[in-house]
Structure 1
């Protein structure tokens, strides 16, 4: 990361940094803004809040990821002192390099005075802070590589961060704001399938392309010519898991755990049930993790009495804790399968030995064949390993970059992405889309095994 000198600028006394740090913790700021992330269940948001939920560098959504210098940088950015803002963001990155928000804002400060091409990335904020960071790392790495190489046809890429808190109504108002601003040429987002579904009609009417790196619900297929995704749909995941169950495990009866409040969870459950039935298997029981009276032990006993041979976890992030209680209660008695939301450090941490042998379908894994180059580059940039959410966000940004090179207009981007000849270089493989808007790519199965890559004694490892 390049460091930029601030010689000739006023250097605050040490007490400033102490005060600034306290203000960061308290969510207070002056000049630049620190946004106290809205509760994830917030149902309404006014126009001022929408404005504060979208930032080029004026607002910190993740202040604890940076340093007191990061707050100074936002103040410089807000005042239009972009050179100083960039130097300060870079200084913060030297102290905390694993901060994608700062890297995006640094690039934005560099681009601000040079007629940039603008896109936005929508993150779930407080609803999933780690998920937000993972997405931002992918977008930030793509932006950094693009701008370091001279931009897109000589114009640098600027990325605005939008925090929708994974809330449908908030996301809809943010989408409306992005559509109204003609300078925004594309969107990376949203996170949960339900949120992307809630915003799809807005992007369609506004003719603004949105590429989700996370949403997998089958209802998004053919939803709009302006809504695409760089993650395969639940149709692909369900069939990969079904094939493993029937052909590798040689088992035919499954019990499914899902969340009836999640479009993603219901989609994966439905696709798995259909896939297993088409190949001669059967789902003998379904249990709703959102039910207040849910009992992991009781449900497992009932499922075994019904002849269940395999546990399928179609849980979403919000119901992961209860899904992991099922794994613990199972005590390795039945094989466990899971969708991509089960792929989390929490899974390894909570289940430990009880999770050994679990098989999960994900779009990408750092140890899979072909991942070495991107894994090395990302490790050098972030100082550690990344996961599939970072990769699919990177790929979404790269897809927009390729389309922008062909025609830097909203309609031009849509036409380019929809072309049967479209292909963009992604993290590990080419990015292309089916006519439905779905990613044309397979899923990777990974298994929980004993290992030392994580700090939990167990790791996710690719199944060849």
Structure 2
């Protein structure tokens, strides 16, 4: 065979093989997180959980053979920055799904942009009940304040037989929302709210408000705060010897908060989403094991919710492609999803429906007290 003919045949074979091989694409999603500033500890932990999920998805073949990657943007927990980076992710990076933001105020600020541009948002942490009406492209993998506050109000009335309560909250969209839900449902069930006090971000001394709360004849105090404020509030309320039942929500269940407070947190009741706590083969336990193996530390609040958000995005893309409308329609049909953060379904507003647990802190450690 002549050399020219040999090389021609070889070229044709390589050309045909090259044409038959599909080049791997990269499917991009975005994330808006507080990677610097006060909320950085949560932003970094949530980023870790997202990367854990993405690594797992790509090891299992990605999105129908294409690799998934996430572009992370730092909002510092500020609404104006969240708006800026949301526009950047959509207009410059061309993502059609964003995970975040963590605060309710950020989500409410960027929701109009995402709805207008038909981009999916899944928040793993924003709880304010106004998000339920924030638009058809807005989802979350954490329960709304309505369920959280309602569960504690019901427990306080029916199980603890509390007849009156006072309330203390941080004047931010998330804590304020859950406090309002407690107040509304507590009164609806026959309880009386004797005093409502608040603080703003950056306050560290609550002794004036605590003194006012102490003077009331209320049986209990319900407080809704971020972790740092929770530490200071509980520490000061113990120092002032306030003899009332203390009730709160899931943000007290944070390793750093519990370590800081120690046994001074004993006796505090709080709400938390129901998960398979005692099942070593359950998805919650598997997530904890995988997270600790990768990052040599325990996962904190919102990490399991983030893991679930990424996994659900991948399932939607595998089934329906990357079109945002198709992803939205897929998510709205999700029922009884068994995730790292528990079993849940999406309702028509993109909120999750999930049973709640009541825990009590004993010897510095949370333990299940009652199921919703």
Do the structures match in fold with TM over 0.5? Answer: yes
Structure that is richer in strand per residue = 2
Alignment counterpart, residue 305 of structure 1, candidates 212, 215, 219? 215
Aligned to 1:69: none
1:314 to 2:220 alignment: no
Pairing of 1:324-343 with structure 2 (within 5 A): 324-329=234-239, 331=241, 333-343=243-253
Number of equivalences: 343
Deviations 1:191-231 (A, max 9, x none): 11001110000110110001000000001002111111000
Aligned to 1:234: 145
1:256 to 2:256 alignment: no
**What CA distance in whole angstroms lies between the structure 1 residues aligned with 2:67 and 2:250?**
34
1:410 to 2:324 alignment: yes
Please say which of residues 241-250 and 230-239 is displaced more in the overlay.
Answer: 241-250
- Identify if the C-alpha distance between structure 1 residues 425 and 184 changes in structure 2 by more than 3 Å, giving closer, same or farther: farther
Max Rg structure: 2
Q: What TM-score results when the alignment is normalised by the length of structure 1?
A: 0.68
Structure 2 unpaired stretches of 5+: 1-22
**What CA distance in whole angstroms lies between the structure 1 residues aligned with 2:92 and 2:120?**
13
1:463 to 2:364 alignment: no
Deviation, 1:290, is 2.5
Alignment counterpart, residue 111 of structure 2, candidates 171, 192, 200? 200
Higher relative contact order (CA 8 A, sep 6+): 2
Structure 1 unpaired stretches of 5+: 1-112, 451-457
- Identify if the C-alpha distance between structure 1 residues 413 and 270 changes in structure 2 by more than 3 Å, giving closer, same or farther: same
Aligned to 2:261: 351
Q: Is the 8 A contact 1:406 1:412 kept in 2?
A: no
Aligned to 2:11: none
- Identify if the C-alpha distance between structure 1 residues 385 and 347 changes in structure 2 by more than 3 Å, giving closer, same or farther: closer
What is the DSSP-based 3-state SS (H/G/I as helix, E as strand, rest coil) of the residue aligned with 2:355?
coil
Aligned to 1:273: 183
Aligned to 2:300: 387
1:435 to 2:348 alignment: yes
Q: Is the 8 A contact 2:128 2:145 kept in 1?
A: yes
Deviation, 1:293, is 9.3
Q: What TM-score results when the alignment is normalised by the length of structure 2?
A: 0.84
Aligned to 2:84: 173
**What CA distance in whole angstroms lies between the structure 1 residues aligned with 2:35 and 2:201?**
26
Pairing of 1:43-62 with structure 2 (within 5 A): none
Aligned to 1:131: 42
What is the DSSP-based 3-state SS (H/G/I as helix, E as strand, rest coil) of the residue aligned with 1:221?
helix
Deviation, 1:424, is 4.8
**What CA distance in whole angstroms lies between the structure 2 residues aligned with 1:188 and 1:367?**
26
**What CA distance in whole angstroms lies between the structure 2 residues aligned with 1:365 and 1:435?**
23
**What CA distance in whole angstroms lies between the structure 2 residues aligned with 1:415 and 1:423?**
16
What is the DSSP-based 3-state SS (H/G/I as helix, E as strand, rest coil) of the residue aligned with 2:346?
coil
Q: Is the 8 A contact 1:232 1:442 kept in 2?
A: no
What is the DSSP-based 3-state SS (H/G/I as helix, E as strand, rest coil) of the residue aligned with 2:148?
helix
1:220 to 2:134 alignment: no
